[in-house]
């Protein structure tokens, strides 16, 4: 495996260990406490961090398809998504709140493990050509979406998202 893939998979493993540590060491009241700088509780924000990996699973086929279409189509698609940022933000916030009731402290660790396992296996099977495929992304949706992202960038995105939100938790640093 090449160094870029190894680094991405290693970061997946680190994120999984961090989540497990937070979940093992946080009390129910810690998880219900508001996070720093978001409207989510710590538990809701932890789920949102897991959701970043879940979203990558959906983005991978989209990048594969859009990368085969004319660039103007991809730019139009990204522009349309950027225009829908308001509804996206609403769904992103309320969706994470609602989903955290299903993927709560008892289930989100397993969900992250399963999702990361699938992503790591897919990443290992990607060819250099497939990892270089790219498409325009809606840059207003997330600070880590860039105007053009490769499949490799998309695999790496989830951990950037995870690490960004980890700084917003009002939990003690993970022990592992």
Q: What are the pLDDT digits (tens) for 16-27? A: 999 999 999 999
pLDDT mean over 82-106: 88
pLDDT band at 48 (very low <50, low <70, confident <90, very high): very high
pLDDT in tens, 30-40: 999 999 999 99
Q: The pTM is what?
A: 0.92
pLDDT in tens, 103-121: 999 999 999 999 999 999 9
pLDDT mean over 61-84: 92
Query: What rounded mean pLDDT belongs to the chain?
Result: 93
What was the pLDDT predicted at 1? 63
**CA 103, CA 87: separation in Å to the nearest integer?**
23
DSSP code per residue over 82-134: HHTHHHHHHHHHHHHHHHHHHS-TTTHHHHHHHHHHHHHHHHHH--HHHHH-E
In the chain, % of residues over pLDDT 70: 99
pLDDT band at 53 (very low <50, low <70, confident <90, very high): very high
Is the per-residue pLDDT at 87 higher than 90? no
pLDDT band at 2 (very low <50, low <70, confident <90, very high): confident
pLDDT mean over 66-95: 89
**CA 54, CA 112: separation in Å to the nearest integer?**
8
């Amino acid at each position: 495996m090449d160094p870029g893939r190894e680094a991405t998979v290693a970061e997946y493993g680190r994120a999984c260990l961090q989540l497990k540590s937070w979940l093992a060491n946080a009390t129910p009241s810690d998880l219900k406490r508001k996070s720093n700088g978001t409207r989510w509780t710590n538990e809701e924000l932890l789920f949102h961090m897991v959701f970043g990996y879940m979203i990558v699973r959906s983005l991978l086929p989209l990048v594969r398809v859009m990368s085969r279409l004319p660039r103007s189509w991809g730019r139009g698609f990204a522009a349309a998504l950027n225009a829908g940022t308001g509804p996206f933000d609403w769904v992103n916030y309320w969706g994470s709140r609602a989903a955290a009731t299903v993927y709560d402290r008892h289930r989100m660790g397993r969900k992250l493990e399963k999702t990361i396992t699938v992503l790591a296996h897919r990443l290992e099977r990607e060819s250099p050509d497939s990892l270089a495929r790219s498409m325009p992304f809606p840059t207003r949706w997330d600070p880590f979406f860039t105007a053009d992202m490769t499949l490799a960038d998309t695999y790496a995105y989830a951990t950037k998202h995870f690490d960004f939100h980890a700084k917003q938790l009002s939990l003690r640093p993970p022990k592992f």
